[in-house]
Amino acid sequence: MASEKKTYDFLIAGVPYKLKTSHDDATVQELVEFVNNKMDQALSVTKYGSFQNAAVLTALNVAEELILLKRKAHRELEKIEEKALKLSIDLENSKLNRTV
């Protein structure tokens, strides 16, 4: 059964938005604060303070963070898989050594 969706009103860089989501209040607040902080950073370094340029820069910054985190998670998963494989081989070898 799908979660009940709630509509939230909020501002991003002073512009009003509505969001319909099943996320809880704390998650929505965290998302809004995250995007607002990223937009504020982008607006502060955008040459003419263009909202559109800041939005694109924000999207690029968030995409960069996401991609880097995904790569890191993938590397960590590969390490775990390698360890699991080694442990499995060690376990099989120890079983074989006991029967010999």
51 part of a folded domain: yes
Quote the CA–CA distance of 28 and 9 in Å, as a whole number.
Answer: 10
Residue 54: per-residue pLDDT: 92
Residue 65: both structure tokens together? 């963070």
Q: Is residue 100 scored above 70 in pLDDT?
A: no
10 part of a folded domain: yes
Classified as helix, coil or strand, 2 is coil
Check residues 61 and 49 and name the one with the higher pLDDT.
61
- Show the domain range for 38: 6-72
**Contacts of residue 22, Cβ cutoff 8 Å, sequence gap at least 6:** 2, 3, 4, 5, 6
78 part of a folded domain: no
67 part of a folded domain: yes
User: pLDDT digits over 31-60, tens only?
Assistant: 999 999 999 999 998 877 788 999 999 999
Quote the CA–CA distance of 53 and 33 in Å, as a whole number.
Answer: 19
Quote the CA–CA distance of 57 and 41 in Å, as a whole number.
Answer: 9
22 part of a folded domain: yes
84 part of a folded domain: no
Cα angle 4, 70, 68 (rounded to 5 degrees) comes to 120
Average pLDDT over residues 66-74: 99
